[in-house]
Amino acid sequence: MAQTTGNGRAGGKGAQLRAYLLGLIDGELKPHEKLPTERELAESFGVTRLTVRRALDQLGYEGRVYRTQGAGTFVSEPRIAKSVELTSFTQDMRARGLVPGSLETQVEEIPAGAEIGARLALSPREHVAHLFRVRTADGEPMCIEHTYIPAKIAPGLAARAIEGSLYQLLTETYHLKVEKAEQSIHATVLDPPLAKLLGVPEFSPAFKVQRVAYDARNQRIEYAESVYRADRYSYDFIIYRTTRDTAN
């Protein structure tokens, strides 16, 4: 059967509608201009209003549009900062218009040990692949990164040449898809060896980032510890008041 189901594949009607709306948003419409009403979209796309609402709600949640009851849905101002998104270094740099790269990549397979084991919920004796990379943007050192991945979920990773996006490799080769990450960001200063690796003066300010990444099943996939030079990196994002929860 060419068409297994009643809905037209290609990601479903919601996804098609979303694509169309995205086209409107950063194509024809300018910030604060009004999108078609839900009812109009529903009719012209031959879908239910609920489907339209889901697409618009999602865009609203992502900060692309804002919605006001009684008034309409409007295009948000161009995002000077992205909302907090889970991205790899590679994606992150590309989004900033820089060319990502790596220096001095080292890979080894080692026992997790106490700390890494705890982070990944492994026995200290279980093995992990340890990647050490100096990551670059437009050729300049940007970040020093230690990544640990349980050997049992990515066998043979340590023997593999890692180039480009680790996340892409994990997805394509091991079908491990990161869906969620806990991240902890600290401010620190660079001690001499790290400063040298990053090519900045000693005791320059820096971010230290620890991250535990999970897949959709809450299985821990990765623990990463990174140090970013602060002169070329900042965290820019949009935050929303989450839920009209209980008290203020």
Q: Using CB under 8 A as the criterion, which residues of the chain lie in contact with its own copies when the complex forms?
A: 32, 50, 58, 62-63, 66, 68, 74, 76-77, 80-81, 83-86, 91, 165, 167-168, 171, 177-189, 203, 205-207, 216-218, 228, 230, 234-243, 248
- Beta carbons of 63 and 22 less than 8 angstroms apart: no
Residue 232, burial from CB neighbour count under 10 angstroms (0-12, 13-18, 19+): middle
Quote the CA–CA distance of 73 and 64 in Å, as a whole number: 10
Kindly list the distances between the CA atom of residue 112 and the CA atoms of 26, 152, 181, in Å, as whole numbers in the listed order. Answer: 46, 12, 19
What does the chain come to in residues? Answer: 248
Span of 44-52, 77-85, 156-164, 188-196 interacting with DNA by CB under 7 A: 44-52
Instruction: Select 39 or 180, whichever has its Cβ closest to its own copies.
Output: 180
Instruction: Select 17 or 195, whichever has its Cβ closest to DNA.
Output: 17
| Residue 123 touches which of DNA, its own copies, none (Cβ within 5-8 Å per kind) | none
Here's the x/- map for DNA, 61-100, by CB under 7 A: it reads as ------xxxxxxx---------------------------
Structure tokens belonging to residue 43: 């009719």
- Tell me: does residue 51 bind DNA (CB under 7 A): yes
Residue 30, burial from CB neighbour count under 10 angstroms (0-12, 13-18, 19+): exposed
200: CB partners within 8 A, 6+ apart: 190, 229, 231
Instruction: Select 125 or 217, whichever has its Cβ closest to its own copies.
Output: 217
Span of 33-41, 157-165, 174-182, 229-237 interacting with DNA by CB under 7 A: 33-41
Quote the CA–CA distance of 145 and 133 in Å, as a whole number: 5
Q: Which residue bears the tokens 């809905």?
A: 7
| Residue 33 touches which of its own copies, DNA, none (Cβ within 5-8 Å per kind) | none
In sign, the C-alpha dihedral spanning 184, 129, 110, 141 is negative
Q: Which of residues 3-22 bind DNA (CB under 7 A)?
A: 4-7, 12-15
- Would you tell me which residues interact with DNA (CB under 7 A)? 4-7, 12-15, 35, 37-39, 46-51, 53-54, 56-57, 67-73
